[in-house]
Amino acid sequence: MKTKQITLTRFTKQCIVMFLITCLSTTLLLADTVVVANAGGSDDAVASSDIKNIYLGKKTKWSDGTKVVFVTLKSGDAHKAFLKQYVKKTPAQFKNYWGKLVFTGKGKAPKSFSSEEKMLAYISKTKGAVGYVSSSTKDASSDGRKVITIK
Amino acid sequence: MKNMITLTKALAFSLIVVVTMSSGVANVSHEDLVKIVNDQAKQIEQLKESRNDEIVSVVEEINEENSNPFGNIDIHGFISQGYMKSWNNNHLPNSKDGTFELNEIGINFSTQITENLRAGMQFFSRDFGDMGNHDIVVDWAFIDYLYDDALGFRVGKMKLPYGLYNETRDIDMLRTSIFLPKSIYDDSLRDLYVAIQGIGIYGNIDLGGMGDGSYSAQWGKNNYNTNEGLAKNYSDVGFLEVDDVSLGYMYNQQYIWNTPLDGLRLAATINVFDDLAATGPIVTDEYAMLGFAPGNYSEVVLNHFTRVIYSLEYTIDNLVLMGEYTKFEGDYVMNAENSFVPDLIALNEGPFNTGGWYTGASYRFNDLFEAGIYYSTTYDSDNKNNNDENVAISGRFDLNSNWIFKVEYQWIQGTRGLFASDNPEGYDEDEDSHMVALKTTISF
């Protein structure tokens, strides 16, 4: 049986390589994140579904009754990665979800920060606060904060 | 910090030991060693204080970043302006000529009174052809007490959780399309379903490995303006001019199951109305000879009707698939005052039932652009061949986080949801309708 040999032009090969690089870069850009909480009041370990429910406003208290104060980043790779990994939403879908709650009177949008440094400083000073940073961020678990273990 | 101090003391001590041992002379007194270590500890304390100052400074920046000049009151709002052009039939008054009578404005205020108690209200104004006409209404206003995650209470005027998208049907920036599918979210009957005044309960229940479930139920009634679709629908028959619409009672329940399959949620809504009455004087002299003279009292009463909606939404990254099905049934009676007899005469009565469904999808290509498409059909339940259909194709552009622009094309077969008063020359039922709409919204 004759087989047809497919010859790829140089341009086509370049396109394929660029496509693969883009896919790989996208994967690499979605950095791992760690969940960081105020050392007082919050649980040391929670289930992944609890993080999701916290960020969807469905879980409002830690196990000791302390009010959960969850915060977000305004944008960035850590924000996208966290929402994808735990909340199962894109940033646009997350914004729409909270937009629905705000414009029907059922909820208050979470505080959002333009940098991980500002988020970490807020978590340090706020009992019950929880947020997220890139896993490569230093000092996530210092200054009155702890990294929560995800069960 | 304590660990740092301990470690630094240990390092300092080790360094001292190494230096003295390497010099071969252990000629340092105990007091000198203590002084060196304490000096190190003081330096660490100073570092700690300056770090605290740094944190305070950052927190002050944060407070300024998230500051609310109105204290504990959150304020949000939106302004939408649209344009519609239709062909073959008017979908809004004069839409065949093009119309800008398509806008919404809303502003809401809310506050957390205590950890469990919240209150808020939203003012809303819209213009939808000759409906709304920029009248400012209280869109919602209620107090919300959250006992725990599984049980909360609301009292006041609330948006009605009817299908997946009814509560936000007036909030343009929360969806892809300009118009929601007619089969479930008929704009001509918007005011019937938009809100309820009364009491409600709600909650979310963790189902463990089976996902989680949300429930809500409301009891109450609502007030209806005569410049909205409900009154216009009854007046459109041409027999009476509605000057009042009243409702005896309504209750609504919704159950949502967020399944263990990430992104898949299923919902069921049950909505029941009792004694929905539209009243007004007879405006036609067609039946005057029979005693039903112009000016006589007339009413159309929907005694009891029930609507169920089953919903599905599946989100896979940037792709959202959705579909909803509805069945609507009840009975009605049309009464009128007769000049020859003292009692109201029933002119018409009987059951009615309709159904419909739609399916659609949306996909976000990037931060700027999202596209959507849906197919919707509405029919008489006992004659599904008597159906209307429509297809909508939409594009949404997020120009920034507060400003969006949309463009939409619709193909419509049938005239359900259209008004005879908007089409005084009659409907063009031989030709399908087409409609193009543009809309922009700013929100904060």
Using the predicted structure, report yes or no on whether residue B2 has a pLDDT greater than 50: no
pLDDT in tens, B133-152: 999 999 999 999 999 999 99
Question: Which of B118, B168, B398 lies at the smallest CB-CB distance from A103?
Answer: B168
- For the segment B92-99, the average pLDDT, to the nearest whole number, is 92
Among A64-73, B253-262, B343-352, B380-389, the range scoring the smallest mean pLDDT is B380-389
- For the segment B398-422, the average pLDDT, to the nearest whole number, is 93
Terminal-residue alpha carbon distance, chain B: 41
Question: Could you tell me the sign of the dihedral formed by the alpha carbons of A82, A87, A89, A93, in that order?
Answer: negative
C-alpha span between A148 and A132 (Å, rounded): 10
Is position A141 within any domain?
yes
What chain A residue is nearest to B364 in terms of C-alpha separation? A92
Is position A48 within any domain?
yes
Q: Do B411 and B432 touch, CB atoms closer than 8 A?
A: yes
What are the tokens at A16? 């394929």
What pLDDT shows up at residue B16? Answer: 46
- For the segment B355-375, the average pLDDT, to the nearest whole number, is 97
Which stretches within B108-208 are classed as H helix?
182-185, 190-193
What pLDDT shows up at residue A93? Answer: 97
ipTM over 0.85: no
Question: Could you tell me the sign of the dihedral formed by the alpha carbons of B337, B342, B348, B353, in that order?
Answer: positive
Is position A25 within any domain?
no
> What percentage of residues in chain B have a pLDDT greater than 90?
67
What pLDDT shows up at residue B367? Answer: 94
pLDDT in tens, B209-225: 999 999 999 999 999 99
Name the average pLDDT for chain B.
87
Q: Helix or strand or coil: residue B34?
A: helix
**pTM for this model (two decimals):** 0.82
Using the predicted structure, report yes or no on whether residue B17 has a pLDDT greater than 80: no
- For the segment B221-248, the average pLDDT, to the nearest whole number, is 91
Return the bridge partners of B105, or none. B79, B125
Question: Which of B106, B146, B364 lies at the smallest CB-CB distance from A92?
Answer: B364
**Contact between A90 and B106 using a beta-carbon 8 Å cutoff:** no
Is position A89 within any domain?
yes
**Contact between A99 and B171 using a beta-carbon 8 Å cutoff:** yes
Q: How many domains does chain A have?
A: 1
What is the β-pairing status of strands B195-206 and B151-159?
Answer: antiparallel
Is position A36 within any domain?
yes
- The HSE-up count of residue B70 (CA atoms within 13 Å, CB side) is 8
Using the predicted structure, report yes or no on whether residue A24 has a pLDDT greater than 60: no
What chain A residue is nearest to B51 in terms of C-alpha separation? A143
| B68 vs A47, higher pLDDT | A47
- For the segment B385-402, the average pLDDT, to the nearest whole number, is 93
Q: Do B42 and B3 touch, CB atoms closer than 8 A?
A: no
Confidence of residue B30 (pLDDT cuts 50, 70, 90): low
What pLDDT shows up at residue A114? Answer: 95
What pLDDT shows up at residue B380? Answer: 85
What chain B residue is nearest to A97 in terms of C-alpha separation? B174
Domains annotated on chain B, with CATH: 2-62 (no CATH), 80-443 (2.40.160.10)
Confidence of residue A18 (pLDDT cuts 50, 70, 90): low
What pLDDT shows up at residue B404? Answer: 98
**Contact between A118 and B167 using a beta-carbon 8 Å cutoff:** no
What are the tokens at B166? 């009814």
**Contact between B59 and A93 using a beta-carbon 8 Å cutoff:** no
Question: Which of A49, A105, A122 lies at the smallest CB-CB distance from B62?
Answer: A122
Sequence letter at residue B364: R
Using the predicted structure, report yes or no on whether residue B47 has a pLDDT greater than 60: no
Is position A45 within any domain?
yes
**Contact between B59 and A122 using a beta-carbon 8 Å cutoff:** yes
Confidence of residue B112 (pLDDT cuts 50, 70, 90): very high
> What percentage of residues in chain B have a pLDDT greater than 70?
85
User: Residue A80 belongs to a domain with what CATH number?
Assistant: 3.40.190.10
Chain B hits for A95, Cβ within 8 Å: 401
pLDDT in tens, B295-331: 999 999 998 999 999 999 999 999 999 999 999 999 9
Using the predicted structure, report yes or no on whether residue B385 has a pLDDT greater than 80: no
CA-based angle B260:A100:A115, to the nearest 5?
85
Count of CB atoms situated within 10 Å of the CB of B131: 23
- For the segment B6-28, the average pLDDT, to the nearest whole number, is 46
- For the segment B68-82, the average pLDDT, to the nearest whole number, is 87
Residues of A with CB under 8 A from a CB of B: 49, 53, 58-61, 67, 84, 88-90, 92-93, 95-96, 99-100, 102-106, 108-109, 111-114, 117-118, 121-122, 124-125, 142-143
Q: DSSP label at B282?
A: B
What are the tokens at B375? 């197919």
pLDDT in tens, A28-39: 445 689 999 999
- The HSE-up count of residue B186 (CA atoms within 13 Å, CB side) is 24
Give the residue numbers spanning the domain of A145.
31-150
Chain B hits for A114, Cβ within 8 Å: 65
**Contact between A104 and B370 using a beta-carbon 8 Å cutoff:** no
Using the predicted structure, report yes or no on whether residue B79 has a pLDDT greater than 90: yes
Distance from CA of A123 to the nearest CA of B (A): 10
Confidence of residue B420 (pLDDT cuts 50, 70, 90): confident
What chain A residue is nearest to B261 in terms of C-alpha separation? A88
CA distances from B402 to A99, B61, B172, B339 (A): 12, 23, 12, 60
- For the segment A90-114, the average pLDDT, to the nearest whole number, is 96
Is position A132 within any domain?
yes
Is position A97 within any domain?
yes
C-alpha span between A83 and A79 (Å, rounded): 6
